[in-house]
């Protein structure tokens, strides 16, 4: 059989292939040749064949049939063979193939080979791809080599040990004695790898960490020597002595100094020295400074040092090199919580970074900007952020919009400013706004009573311009439904009032209903808005007509609403004004907090239902909104649910909550679920009239016995508290009917968030 072609030959040939198919053909031919050559067990050309196979593997072709051949090469005595064999092992094999274990013996022998380069090969292979079994078997050899005086081998053994520890952490102890003298080496290679080894051990085990803390002075000394020593051509990079080692030492110092006062104190000086003396003109110097800053921020450094660190980061921000700016922004983001004031000083630079071309930098700058917003700079910052919102990529818009809402809510200097800001966001990035912002905004608007006219006017104008952005449209139609009367009467104080007639308003709302751009949710909003206007406008006939048209709509949701509104016109017309009254002010209990129900001051208190027992309260906001809309102006508004409710809600439960009660489930035993219709909205209105829910409040729940066993009787009594009829008070009577004393009586109540306790929720005592 002719000698297999040489590697270079093959590469050249393959590169002449003009199409994928041609290349594939060549490769297949060669693979076949290689396979038969392997079968012949030809020692001379095995190396060449495996090398060719590795090349083809890199191009993406399967090469697993070469795995065993690699093992044979490793076992060969020739250095060339071993070199290629080990390379092949590292490229083709890993711990997932069972075959790899066969290597173990070879590696063991090679670790003890007379030639250091062979030992080096073995260590390298073990350190790159050794599996846990291999590591376990060979850890002893590695440990031996760690103690050798040959620095070439020592450094490799150290890194190999790192890999062993990563794979089999329990073996860490084994390497401890060998680490004793590692730092006294002169050879930088050994020093570097030793520091890596020490870092790995400290990161994994707190015991090791405390053990190695005593090395801090030594490390400081080494670092000092590096900085102070003269030019050393061997390790110099752009004028800095061995930056790799410096960075590694700084990192180890960081780990050792974290949380420990003494160590941190010992490093203070050297950190200051590095921070001030390092050349910053090239990337190398900045790399060291970056690591230094990270270290300063993590350990218990004195405040002067911290300020120095932040100033370095500030300087980074002004650097022309965008990599450095990126790194600075990332670090500032980490430190903004702890050193807020220092970071504030660099605010203008950060805001400038919003205009950077690089996507990663922009994102970092945006996050950082939000972290820096406070009451003082809100106006300026918001201007920049809104400008950013206009021009940024779509991926950013959602985050930016949410961030703006949050910031505006926390720091809005005036209601008008707040509403203007929201309007701006809705009109520029309306489609990217998150779903939960709509209820948030509605609540906000409701709460700013004096701004109602202004708000509705602006929203109306925005609607006239553009009806494609759903969140904007939804908020606008809700507002028009609520405050349409203000709009038509032209009462706006803040702005030039516009002249709008009822018909024009209804035109717009009807337009929304028929438009292709409106989602079903939006249509629901506008239908409800039209309905609400029936009590505020005088064009009743028009509204009735619209509502009855949709009574046969294909969309079930719309149809349902329309049918019920029709019913409202026909059967329950006497209730209509009450139901569709103005929404009361909602008390906000916090944005993005855990799901909570808000207690409202019901305007129609007489229709508030009696207290009921409910096991669960929380529900998704969207459903709530629907029901809310259905009921029109009735009092309860379950607000803002941004987290997934942890308790499943029953449909009937929602209804009851909507109608504004407190659920009382005090005490250790949950009360049984109420006998409320668990059905969905179709029967809602019926439910309103037929259920005892609308009975007069006067009826109080009779006292109940929650627990009566072993002589301990616990009774609940219920009554409405006088100052605030919305609050029901549960009193617990615990009686001890045995003769002995009951000590350490602890009463703890787990309640849904609706309820609150006047004092602590735990009562200790004796009966």
Residues from 325 through 384 that contact other proteins (CB under 8 A): 325-327, 357-361
For other proteins, which is the closer residue by CB, 118 or 617?
118
To other proteins, the closest distance from the beta carbon of 124 in angstroms equals 5
Is residue 535 within 8 Å of residue 577, measured between CB atoms? yes
Q: How far is 211 from 206, CA to CA, in rounded Å?
A: 8
- Candidates 50-58, 381-389, 435-443, 448-456: pick the segment binding other proteins (CB under 8 A): 50-58
Scanning 213-358, the segments in alpha helix (DSSP H) are: 216-228, 243-257, 261-277, 283-298, 303-318, 322-335, 340-344, 347-352
Closest by alpha carbon to 726, among 623, 555, 561, 610?
610
Q: What is the DSSP string of 43-88?
A: HHHHHHHHHHHHHHHHHT---GGGHHHHHHHHHSS-HHHHHHHHHH
With CB under 8 A as the contact rule, the residue among 27, 31, 34, 54 that binds other proteins is 54
For other proteins, which is the closer residue by CB, 64 or 647?
64
Tell me the C-alpha to C-alpha distance, in Å, between residue 669 and each of 453, 596, 662, 664, 672.
49, 22, 17, 11, 9
Residues 229-288 that bind other proteins (CB under 8 A): 234-235, 237, 242-245, 247, 251, 283-284, 286-288
Tell me the C-alpha to C-alpha distance, in Å, between residue 199 and each of 136, 162, 193, 227, 254.
21, 9, 10, 21, 10
To other proteins, the closest distance from the beta carbon of 508 in angstroms equals 44
To other proteins, the closest distance from the beta carbon of 134 in angstroms equals 12
Q: How many residues does the chain have?
A: 767
Q: How far is 561 from 551, CA to CA, in rounded Å?
A: 8
To other proteins, the closest distance from the beta carbon of 120 in angstroms equals 7
Residues 144-163 that bind other proteins (CB under 8 A): 152, 155-156, 159-160, 162-163
Is residue 88 within 8 Å of residue 66, measured between CB atoms? yes
With CB under 8 A as the contact rule, the residue among 24, 78, 334, 379 that binds other proteins is 78
Q: Considering the rule CB under 8 A, would residue 732 count as an interface residue with other proteins? A: no
Binders of other proteins: how many residues, by CB under 8 A?
A: 73
**Residues whose CB falls within 8 Å of the CB of residue 195, separated by 6 or more in sequence, listed in order:** 183, 219, 245, 248, 249, 252
Tell me the C-alpha to C-alpha distance, in Å, between residue 747 and each of 666, 721, 733.
11, 22, 11
240: left (phi over 0), alpha (psi -120 to 50) or beta: beta
**Residues whose CB falls within 8 Å of the CB of residue 191, separated by 6 or more in sequence, listed in order:** 182, 183, 185, 222, 245
For other proteins, which is the closer residue by CB, 334 or 410?
334
For other proteins, which is the closer residue by CB, 362 or 532?
362
- Candidates 5-13, 139-147, 307-315, 520-528: pick the segment binding other proteins (CB under 8 A): 5-13
Residues 174-233 that bind other proteins (CB under 8 A): 188-189, 192-193, 196
Residues 9-48 that bind other proteins (CB under 8 A): 11-12, 15, 44
Is residue 91 within 8 Å of residue 106, measured between CB atoms? no
**Residues whose CB falls within 8 Å of the CB of residue 415, separated by 6 or more in sequence, listed in order:** 448, 450, 451
For other proteins, which is the closer residue by CB, 188 or 536?
188
Residues 461-500 that bind other proteins (CB under 8 A): none
To other proteins, the closest distance from the beta carbon of 60 in angstroms equals 7
From residue 411 to residue 430, what is the string marking binding to other proteins with x (rule CB under 8 A)? --------------------
From residue 97 to residue 126, what is the string marking binding to other proteins with x (rule CB under 8 A)? ------------------x-x--x--xx--
With CB under 8 A as the contact rule, the residue among 127, 257, 403, 752 that binds other proteins is 127
- Candidates 7-15, 462-470, 543-551, 553-561: pick the segment binding other proteins (CB under 8 A): 7-15
For other proteins, which is the closer residue by CB, 58 or 549?
58
Q: How far is 505 from 533, CA to CA, in rounded Å?
A: 10
Q: How far is 312 from 327, CA to CA, in rounded Å?
A: 12
Query: What tokens appear for 452 in the block?
Result: 């109602």
With CB under 8 A as the contact rule, the residue among 26, 128, 227, 521 that binds other proteins is 128
Q: Considering the rule CB under 8 A, would residue 666 count as an interface residue with other proteins? A: no
Query: What tokens appear for 741 in the block?
Result: 């004393």
To other proteins, the closest distance from the beta carbon of 232 in angstroms equals 9
For other proteins, which is the closer residue by CB, 58 or 678?
58
């Amino acid at each position: 059989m002719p000698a297999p072609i040489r590697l270079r030959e093959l590469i050249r040939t393959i590169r002449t292939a003009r199409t994928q198919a041609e290349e594939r053909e060549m490769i297949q031919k060669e693979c076949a040749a290689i396979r038969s050559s392997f079968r012949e067990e030809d020692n001379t050309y095995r190396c060449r064949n495996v090398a060719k196979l590795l090349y083809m593997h890199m191009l993406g072709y399967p090469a697993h049939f070469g795995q065993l051949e690699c093992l044979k090469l490793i076992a060969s005595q020739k250095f060339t063979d071993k070199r290629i064999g080990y390379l092949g092992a590292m490229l083709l094999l890993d711990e997932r193939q069972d075959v790899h274990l066969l290597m173990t013996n070879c590696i063991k022998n090679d670790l003890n080979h007379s030639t250091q380069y062979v030992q080096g090969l073995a260590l390298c292979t073990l350190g790159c791809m050794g599996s846990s079994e291999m590591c376990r078997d060979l850890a002893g050899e590695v440990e031996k080599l760690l103690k050798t005086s040959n620095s070439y081998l020592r450094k490799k053994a150290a890194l190999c040990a790192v890999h062993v520890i990563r794979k089999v952490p329990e073996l860490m102890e084994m390497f401890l004695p060998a680490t004793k003298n590692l730092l006294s080496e002169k050879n930088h290679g050994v020093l570097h790898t030793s520091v890596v080894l020490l870092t790995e051990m400290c990161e994994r085990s707190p015991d090791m960490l405390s053990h190695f803390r005593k090395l801090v002075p030594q490390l400081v000394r080494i670092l000092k020597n590096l900085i102070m020593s003269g030019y050393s051509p061997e390790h110099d990079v752009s004028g800095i002595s061995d930056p790799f080692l410096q960075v590694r030492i700084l990192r180890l110092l960081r780990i050792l100094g974290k949380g420990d006062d003494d160590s941190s104190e010992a490093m203070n000086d050297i950190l200051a020295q590095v921070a001030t003396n390092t050349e910053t003109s090239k990337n190398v110097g900045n790399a060291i400074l970056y690591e230094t800053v990270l270290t300063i921020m993590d350990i218990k450094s004195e405040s002067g040092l911290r300020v120095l660190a932040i100033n370095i980061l500030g300087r980074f921000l002004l650097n022309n090199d965008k990599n450095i700016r990126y790194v600075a922004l990332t670090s500032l983001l980490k430190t903004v919580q702890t050193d807020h004031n220092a970071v504030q000083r660099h605010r203008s630079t950060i805001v400038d970074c919003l205009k950077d071309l690089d996507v990663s930098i922009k994102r970092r700058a945006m996050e950082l900007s939000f972290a820096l917003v406070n009451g003082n700079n809100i106006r300026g910052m918001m201007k920049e952020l809104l400008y950013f919102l206009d021009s940024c990529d779509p991926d950013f818009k959602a985050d930016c919009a949410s961030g703006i809402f949050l910031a505006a809510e926390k720091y809005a200097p005036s209601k008008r400013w707040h509403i203007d800001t929201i309007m701006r966001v809705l009109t520029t990035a309306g489609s990217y706004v998150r779903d939960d912002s709509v209820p948030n905004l509605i609540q906000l608007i409701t709460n700013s009573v004096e701004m109602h006219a202004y708000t509705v006017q602006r929203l109306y104008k925005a609607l006239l311009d553009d009806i494609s952005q759903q969140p904007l449209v939804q908020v606008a139609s809700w507002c028009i439904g609520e405050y349409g009367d203000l709009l038509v009467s032209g009462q706006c104080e803040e702005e030039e009032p516009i002249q709008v007639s009822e018909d024009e308003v209804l035109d717009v709302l009807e337009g929304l209903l028929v438009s292709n751009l409106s989602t079903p949710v939006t249509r629901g909003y506008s239908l409800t808005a039209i309905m609400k206007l029936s009590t505020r406008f005088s064009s009743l006939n028009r509204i009735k007509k619209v509502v009855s048209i949709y009574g046969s709509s294909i969309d079930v949701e719309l149809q349902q609403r329309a049918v019920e509104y029709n019913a409202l016109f026909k059967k329950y017309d006497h209730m209509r004004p009450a139901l569709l009254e103005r929404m009361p002010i909602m008390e906000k209990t916090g944005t993005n907090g855990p799901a909570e129900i808000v207690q409202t001051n019901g305007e129609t208190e007489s229709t508030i239902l009696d207290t009921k027992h409910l096991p669960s309260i929380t529900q998704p906001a969207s459903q709530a909104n629907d029901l809310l809309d259905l009921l029109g102006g009735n009092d309860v508004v379950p607000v803002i649910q941004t987290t997934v409710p942890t308790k499943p809600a029953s449909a009937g439960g929602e209804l009851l909550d909507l109608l504004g009660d407190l659920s009382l489930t005090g005490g250790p035993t949950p009360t049984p679920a109420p006998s409320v219709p668990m059905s969905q909205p179709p029967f809602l209105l019926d439910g309103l009239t037929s259920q005892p829910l609308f009975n007069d409040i006067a009826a109080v729940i009779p006292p109940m016995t929650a627990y009566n066993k072993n002589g301990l009787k616990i009774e609940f009594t219920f009554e409405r508290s006088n100052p605030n009829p919305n609050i029901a008070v549960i009193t617990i009577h615990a009686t001890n009917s045995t003769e002995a004393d009951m000590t350490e009586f602890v009463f703890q109540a787990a309640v849904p968030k609706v309820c609150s306790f006047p004092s602590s929720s735990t009562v200790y005592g004796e009966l």
